[in-house]
Structure 1
Amino acid sequence: MNYSIIYGLNKTKLPIIPVEVEGKHLCFIIDTGSTCSLIDSNVIEYFKDIATPVGDYNISGIDGTKHKVDVVTLPFSFEGQSYNPNFCVKPLLEAFKDIETESGIQVHGLLGTDFLVKNKWILDFDKLIIMTLKKCRI
């Protein structure tokens, strides 16, 4: 799969992708600097019937403070592929409010390096695409 990230970059200067959860569209930032994927707590409340609790996790904020958060799985589809990633649950909409105000795009979470590595996604900033590897040779 090759997917262009030009639209998100042009609108927000961020690699944003749309995913689908039970016929609803959500937007996620691809964040290579985040070790765990994050999702807004309101989104999980909305999809509580299909979100599966996994446990909890301690995340560190950019300022070094640690926060204990719940971890859930929430299945989604992107470009015809199904995924079932783990997400750390945290209130995020306030943090993304400026993106929505400036671009009209509401961001619901981040896909971090845990997701990218597990699913073998590669961001090619030369071609401005996301690629997935079917087979990885070392």
Structure 2
Amino acid sequence: MKKMEFPLTFGLQKAGLPLILMSGKTNNLCFLIDTGATHNTLFDFVYEHFKSEFKLLEGTYRTMGIEGHYKETPIIEATFNFEGRDYTSTFSVLDASEAIKQVQDETGIQIHGVLGVQFLIENKWIIDFEQMRVTNEEK
């Protein structure tokens, strides 16, 4: 498999955030890469809209919401395509409407979820802050 290399400059210039645009049956979804997030998150409005595309798993995550309070959230398995390759991971489904609305109002960009450390490790993604890009090791 060819090594992936993706520049983060567009998201950083447009919104000041490291953003990745995923595609697939869900069309284009914009994810924030968050090295401080232990789990991946898909926002509930996306889950509700594309529910048939995701697999609901048993159990829940205890997730800290953006406002700092813990919530029990459903767990789903989702597959997204990025740069011609499918990535499957688990996501907690979280209501983050207020925070997402604020980012959208300030930047004009709607964020649909968060790719956390879990996703980065599972897929061997490496963030190079000096070069402002994401790469991965060949599998």
Q: TM-score, normalised by structure 1?
A: 0.91
Name stretches of at least 5 consecutive residues in structure 2 with no aligned partner. none
Equivalent residue for 2:21? Answer: 18
User: Which segment is superposed worse, 87-96 or 103-112?
Assistant: 87-96
Alpha-carbon offset, residue 57 of structure 1: 1.1
1:131 equivalent in alignment to 2:135: yes
Which secondary structure state, in structure 2, belongs to the residue aligned with residue 49 of structure 1?
helix
Which of these residues, 46, 50, 53, is aligned with residue 43 of structure 1?
46
Q: Is the 8 Å Cα contact of residues 66 and 96 (structure 2) preserved in structure 1?
A: no
AA aligned opposite 1:30: I
The aligned length equals 135
Q: Which runs of structure 2 are paired with 1:1-138 in the superposition (5 Å)? A: 1-22=4-25, 24-55=27-58, 56-61=60-65, 65-135=69-139
Which secondary structure state, in structure 1, belongs to the residue aligned with residue 46 of structure 2?
helix
TM-align CA RMSD: 1.5
Name stretches of at least 5 consecutive residues in structure 1 with no aligned partner. none
Which secondary structure state, in structure 2, belongs to the residue aligned with residue 21 of structure 1?
coil
Work out the CA distance in 2 between the residues paired with 1:63 and 1:104. Answer: 21
Whose helix fraction is larger, Structure 1's or Structure 2's? 2
Which secondary structure state, in structure 1, belongs to the residue aligned with residue 13 of structure 2?
helix
- The 1:86/1:10 distance shift into structure 2, 3 A limit, reads same
Identity of aligned residues (%): 37
Alpha-carbon offset, residue 102 of structure 1: 1.9
Q: What's the CA shift string for 1:71-114, capped at 9, x where partnerless? A: 00111100111011111001123211122112211001100000
